[in-house]
Amino acid sequence: MTCNFKIYKKAFCIMVFVMSNFMSSSQGNTSTFKAQFGLGLNSPSESGFVSGFEGKTSNFPTVNLGIQYMFKPVLGAKLDYSFNRISNKKEAQEFKLNYSRINLQAVYNANRIFNLSQNKGVFIHAGPGISTVKPLGNFTQNKTSFVNVMAGVELHFGISDKLSVYTDVSYIYGFAKDFEPISDGFGAFNGSLLTLTVGASISLSGCYYCEQND
């Protein structure tokens, strides 16, 4: 699994290239291609740790990077990568780990449902992905990967035609096997993750809100 980050990086670059081609072929459309950057906190599920190696309820940082393409005003897709640092509770064995994920998600523009003003937006996103957990320090041998599925909601506020700030709440459910033997779970994690981030969404193909009420 030592090449997971390189694999993720290559996949992300390929997706950027493909979606850039979509963008270049639809320059007449606006609000179709977006880049997103977010920073925040994460809260891991307690069931994802073995006894004696419990993680903090709240951890910093969570960093999200994503690209989004809207095929229609209300429907699109996005590819995003997230890096999360998790560390131990005070009473637990000392450890730190990096939790990374990459997900391909469907995106639904829910503005019409909530009837918000033009410079506000609600986006619902969900889709499958892969999570990789890499323990640091003395437990690097316990790295693991597993399939996940996630869902989340973004609340946007437009700053300009091309820029909005947003808050995102997402839950990533991990489909991981139990640690066997139990020592494989020392300094590791195989559970689910709740994240809260604040970030910026930049429209790369025109006005961010021009098509929202079409």
Residue 42 is assigned to a structural domain of this protein: yes
Q: To which residue do tokens 């951890």 refer?
A: 59
Residue 94 is assigned to a structural domain of this protein: yes
| Confidence at residue 24, expressed as pLDDT on a 0 to 100 scale | 43
> 201: closest CA among 157, 163, 159, 158?
163
What pLDDT, in 10s, does the model give residues 180-190?
Answer: 999 999 999 99
| Confidence at residue 6, expressed as pLDDT on a 0 to 100 scale | 55
Return phi, psi of residue 194, to 5°: -105, 130
Element (H, E) at 4: helix 4-24
Residue 213 is assigned to a structural domain of this protein: no
| C-alpha R_g of the chain | 19
What pLDDT, in 10s, does the model give residues 5-46?
Answer: 455 555 555 555 544 454 444 333 446 899 999 999 999 999
What CA–CA distance (Å, rounded) separates 104 from 68? Answer: 10
For 10, the 3-state DSSP assignment is helix
For 128, the 3-state DSSP assignment is strand
How confident is residue 115, by pLDDT bands cut at 50, 70 and 90?
confident
What CA–CA distance (Å, rounded) separates 199 from 68? Answer: 14
What CA–CA distance (Å, rounded) separates 212 from 126? Answer: 20
**What is the overall mean pLDDT for the chain?**
87
From residue 144, alpha-carbon distances to 4, 26, 73, 76, 169 in Å are 10, 40, 38, 31, 25
Residue 30 is assigned to a structural domain of this protein: yes
> 27: closest CA among 207, 162, 161, 206?
206
Residue 212 is assigned to a structural domain of this protein: no
Q: What domain count does the chain have?
A: 1
CB 148 within 8 A of CB 172: yes
Asked whether the predicted pLDDT for residue 150 surpasses 50, the reply is yes
Return the amino acid letter for 104.
L
Q: To which residue do tokens 């709440």 refer?
A: 169
Q: What percent of the chain has pLDDT over 90?
A: 74
Q: To which residue do tokens 């947003």 refer?
A: 166
Residue 171 is assigned to a structural domain of this protein: yes
Residue 88 is assigned to a structural domain of this protein: yes
CATH number of the CATH domain containing 169: 2.40.160.20
Question: Does the predicted model carry a pTM greater than 0.85?
Answer: no
Asked whether the predicted pLDDT for residue 208 surpasses 90, the reply is no
What CA–CA distance (Å, rounded) separates 178 from 186? Answer: 12
Return the amino acid letter for 133.
V
| Confidence at residue 23, expressed as pLDDT on a 0 to 100 scale | 41
Chain-centroid distance of CA 180 in Å reads 28
Residue 211 is assigned to a structural domain of this protein: no
Which segment of 9-13, 49-53, 97-101, 173-177 scores lowest on mean pLDDT? 9-13
What CA–CA distance (Å, rounded) separates 154 from 110? Answer: 10
State which residues form the domain around 53: 4-203
